[in-house]
Amino acid sequence: MTADGDELDELLLGGPRKYTRDEAAASAGVSVEYARRLWRAMGFANVGDEAKAFTDVDLAALSRLMSLVRDGVIDEELAVSLTRAMGHYAARLVEWQVDALVEHLERTRGMTADEATRAAVETSTEHLDDLQALLVFVWRRQLAAVAGRALGSAEGSDSGVLSVGFADLVSYTRLSQRMEERELAALVDRFDALSADIIAGAGGRLVKTVGDEVLFVADRPQSAALIGLELAEAMAADPDLPDVRVGIATGAVLTRMGDVFGRTVNLASRLTALAQPGTVLVDRRTADAVERSGEFDLDVERTRAVRGMGLVRPGVVRRRSR
């Protein structure tokens, strides 16, 4: 299917743009300023007073959101916060999807970047219903997982306590200076994909990736230790990837908007910087739990002064010797 700009716009937006911002706000029963806040929260620039920028689907979505506010399910500030979170992550998801399709089409069909970009958009549009259904399915699955963890916490697990881990590619800065951009992007993509699979497979949760580093959490120190070891082993076995060093700490963690904060996170980051390539360095609380489990070997290191953390006596986790 090949559509011109207007046809594509209407297909993706569910109809023609025919309402101004004032008309959309009036339809939903909100102030123009609040409607503008929601629009910016989605990640879009302000539109002019006279611009017809909104569709019937936009009005329906805004009315549905405001019905939650009127019913007392959420308040106006939370509505903005939820909209901002969805807008931010949806934008990243769409950009990743299109970029991945473009790279695939360039590699497999020999298209130029411009040709591949147009084809990627057309492919996404042709399979809009399937991709939309998949997105909703994954969202519901993730919501079920969060609900399960919340119920587990309510039933007596140590609420607010997590094991936090960082895995950092060794010599990434040096590699980035001598590799071409496409090579570097392929390396980072491979690192991200391997890390995500290992973390999920071992029962952890990937919090975020930042170039040469991944941040993950696990409910049990033993799970975090296993993730760290599997990450180190996988990168060591991959000829295209450098080694990683892993740091893990266990303790109280503040979770907000899908991210994690607090002293435990900072300690895990500091331990990562201290770890040797290909090793997993853990704090005392993680070490104690790992040692009690009998699932791993542990080499306790000397006490060190860690910047901002005071004195720390870390341990190196290893696979149990046969």
Contacts of 55 (CB under 8 A, 6+ apart): 10, 13, 14, 15, 16, 17, 18, 19
Is 135 contained in some domain? no
Is 298 contained in some domain? yes
Is 191 contained in some domain? yes
State the pLDDT at residue 3. Answer: 58
| pLDDT above 90: percentage of residues in the chain | 69
Shared-domain flag, residues 181 and 84:
no
Residue ending a domain, among 126, 149, 169, is: 126
Shared-domain flag, residues 182 and 272:
yes
Residue 130 pLDDT exceeds 90: yes
pLDDT in tens, 137-191: 999 998 998 888 777 665 544 558 999 999 999 988 888 788 888 888 888 889 9
Shared-domain flag, residues 29 and 104:
yes
Q: What is the pTM of this model?
A: 0.75
Is 132 contained in some domain? no
Q: What is the CATH number of the domain that holds 302?
A: 3.30.70.1230
Total of domains in the chain: 2
Residue 50 domain boundaries: 5-126
Partners of 164 in beta bridges: 217, 249
Is 223 contained in some domain? yes
Is 302 contained in some domain? yes
Residue ending a domain, among 80, 111, 126, is: 126
Mean pLDDT of the region 109-120: 93
Shared-domain flag, residues 102 and 222:
no
User: Residue 79: which pLDDT band, with cuts at 50, 70 and 90?
Assistant: very high
Residue 241 pLDDT exceeds 50: yes
State the pLDDT at residue 156. Answer: 46
Task: Provide the Cα torsion 26, 28, 30, 31; round to 10°.
Answer: -40
Mean pLDDT of the region 86-99: 91
